[in-house]
Amino acid sequence: MSRLRHAGLTGDFTRHDLRRTVATGLALGYGSVVGRILNHVQAGPRATAVYDRYDYDREKRTALDA
């Protein structure tokens, strides 16, 4: 936050506001991995959560790099 303010970003905002802004931007083209980037618990059948151990690192990196 201090680096952003030092760079000239002004206004009344919090870290959560920045997180929400990034999530919104990612959702425009990478909606399938936004929850994983934000480290949200994935909803769905319990079996999927237990057996799907793929980490989506490649997809998350592509979204963040974009």
Residue 48 scores a pLDDT above 70: no
Query: Which of 21-50 are b and which e, b meaning 16 or more Cβ less than 10 Å from the residue's Cβ?
Result: eeeeebeeebeebbbbbeeeeeeeeeeeee
pLDDT of residue 58 exceeding 80 = yes
Whole-number pLDDT of residue 65? 94
Using DSSP, state whether 9 is helix, strand or coil. coil
The answer to pTM > 0.95 is: no
pLDDT of residue 61: 94
